[in-house]
Amino acid sequence: MGDKTLKYARIIATGSALPERVVTNADLEKLVETSDEWIRTRTGIRERRVSNAEETTGELGYRAALQALERAGVKASDLDLIVVGTTTPDIIFPSTACLIQHRLGANGCAAFDVNAACSGFVYALGVADKFIRSGQTRKALVIGAETLTRMVDWNERETCVLFGDGAGAVVLEASDEPGILATCMHADGGYKDLLYNPVGVSAGFKDEPNHGVRINMSGREVFKVAVKTLDSLVGETLAAAGMHESDIDWLIPHQANLRIIEATAKRLKMSMDRVIVTVDKHANTSSGSVPLALDEAVCSGKVQRGQNLLLEAFGGGFTWASALLRY
Ligand code: COA
């Protein structure tokens, strides 16, 4: 159980998992009328991973979690909490968190999913931070896992070039050393029609390919709101932590579009060599994107212990969220 004297939630290890299959922009040129040049210049994406039938959200999340736990030296049975950010659960219920919990052998701890679309992982991290700060939880596993390509209409060039699959995970531990310093979470359901999947259990499915499951997106409008919203979000997060732009060592943004990432970096007066970019290799993996980028940054040696990281994300809802932490 938790200890109220321990103030912070600290990331003690990260992990990630990607599907085997790489789909390049050149591969997509064979499916729809597009070009590598168009995709690269508009989005920064060069390739993405696409999962096979066995590589479900739960499977990718499980692999990422196992790696994070091994690196942390934490036994699954010691976990008090598992939170999974996902908008593409394996099945409707039980939650993907419960499926992963059982495979890990962490049965008995609290486990649930958070659906905040692409902001899912950062939301989940914020939720786990609150559990740890409350003293109720000592060790938590937070996962962002998605198979968004299951929703992609491969005939629609406006969306099919943008998305990929993958998962990342972190193990959090209660600590008296900083840790997560500030988290912010927001949503505005008034923007639903700009980015949504039109069908579901209660609203019903359609007599269409893939039962009507698809991504509806007004790309240009999403782009504009994302840039504006992230601009104010990073200011809010810095203020909440009592920090300045110059205190941030690394920006680890949601990987949807390189131009959106560049706009946020500019707002923070950060050069792009202090920004973790994986959108070129992973495309938009929704909740998977931030923890995948974090894990890559840690494994490459870029992110070092004691540095300040700003994580942020934006997604369908609209939702937007951030976490400023000392790694
Ligand atoms: N290949 C080639 N041409 C394409 C294309 C593709 N894959 N997709 C769209 N086009 C065409 C459009 O049909 C349009 O043609 P037209 O001028 O003849 O009408 C043209 O390219 C420009 O389209 P537009 O939508 O204005 O492009 P854009 O510069 O806004 O870039 C996005 C499109 C989708 C890349 C960009 O708007 C974006 O990234 N938006 C945010 C999406 C996002 O991040 N969503 C997830 C949020 S979590």
Per-residue pLDDT of the chain (327 residues; tens, 9 = 90+): 545 567 899 999 999 999 999 999 999 999 999 999 999 999 999 999 999 999 999 999 999 999 999 999 999 999 999 999 999 999 999 999 999 999 999 999 999 999 999 999 999 999 999 999 999 999 999 999 999 999 999 999 999 999 999 999 999 999 999 999 999 999 999 999 999 999 999 999 999 999 999 999 999 999 999 999 999 999 999 999 999 999 999 999 999 999 999 999 999 999 999 999 999 999 999 999 999 999 999 999 999 999 999 999 999 999 999 999 999
Question: Ligand 1 pocket, 43 CB below 6 A?
Answer: yes
Q: Are 163 and 285 in contact (CB under 8 A)?
A: yes
Question: Ligand 1 pocket, 154 CB below 6 A?
Answer: no
For residue 55, give the nearest of 19, 4, 95, 93 by alpha carbon. 19
Closest-lying ligand 1 atom to the alpha carbon of residue 220: 37
Count the helix, strand and coil residues of the chain and give each as a percent rounded to the nearest 5.
Answer: 40, 25, 35
Number of residues that make up the chain: 327
Catalytic residue among 25, 115, 257, 284: 284
Map out the domains of the chain with their CATH numbers: 8-176 (3.40.47.10), 182-326 (3.40.47.10)
Question: Ligand 1 pocket, 118 CB below 6 A?
Answer: yes
Amino acid occupying residue 146 = E
The first and second tokens of residue 104, run together, are 């890990």
Q: Whose CA is nearest to atom 11 of ligand 1?
A: 158
Q: Which of 42, 191, 221 to mutate to test the pocket of ligand 1 (most atoms within 8 A of CB)?
A: 42
CA distance 281 to 295: 14
Q: CA dist 54 to 20, 59, 79, 90, Å?
A: 11, 7, 26, 11
Q: Are 120 and 287 in contact (CB under 8 A)?
A: yes
pTM, to two decimals: 0.97
Strands (E), the chain: 8-17, 22-24, 47-49, 81-85, 110-114, 139-147, 165-175, 180-187, 195-196, 216-217, 250-253, 308-315, 319-326
